[in-house]
Amino acid sequence: MDSGFILISDTEYNIVLSKPWDGAGGLLYQVLLGNAYSTKPEWNIRLSMVTLNNSTRIVAQSVVKMKNGFGREEVNDMTAGKSGEELQQMLRSIKAQVETGK
C-alpha cells in the first residue's frame, strides 16, 4: 500500500492489489502493446498464502493488465523480470519486519 497499490480483493488465502502504471514506462507499454483505444495499463500483484507445518508460504505474481479497443483484457506476466525481483525483495523485507516485531 505504501507503493500506491489499492486492495482489489482479499480472501483467506489470496490478496490482489492494483495501481495504474503511470509515467513513461506505462505510456511506452500502452504504445507498444495497445492502441489509441486501449485503457491505461495497470499493475496487479497477486499474493497466495499457504500454511504448512507452522509456517506460511507466500507465492506472488506481478502482472500488467490493459483492455484493448475491443474490450478484451490483455494480461502479461511480469514476475520473471525486474518487477518480480522487486516483489521478492519486498516480501523478504516484510518477513524480516514480522520476525523482528517491528
Give 40-94 pLDDT, tens digit per residue: 999 999 999 999 888 888 899 999 999 988 888 999 998 988 888 888 898 888 8
The pTM (predicted TM-score) of the whole model is 0.75
Query: What residue spans define the domains of the chain?
Result: 18-44+63-100
Grade residue 1 by pLDDT with cuts at 50, 70 and 90: low
**Per-residue confidence (pLDDT) for residue 63, from 0 to 100:** 94
- Residue 77 near residue 62, CB atoms below 8 Å: yes
C-alpha cell of residue 10: 482479499
Reduced to 3 states (helix: H, G, I; strand: E, B; else coil), residue 48 is strand
Between 36 and 63, the more confident residue is: 63
Give me the DSSP letters along 7-43: EEEE-SSEEEEEEE--HHHHHHHHHHH--TTPPPPEE
Grade residue 98 by pLDDT with cuts at 50, 70 and 90: confident
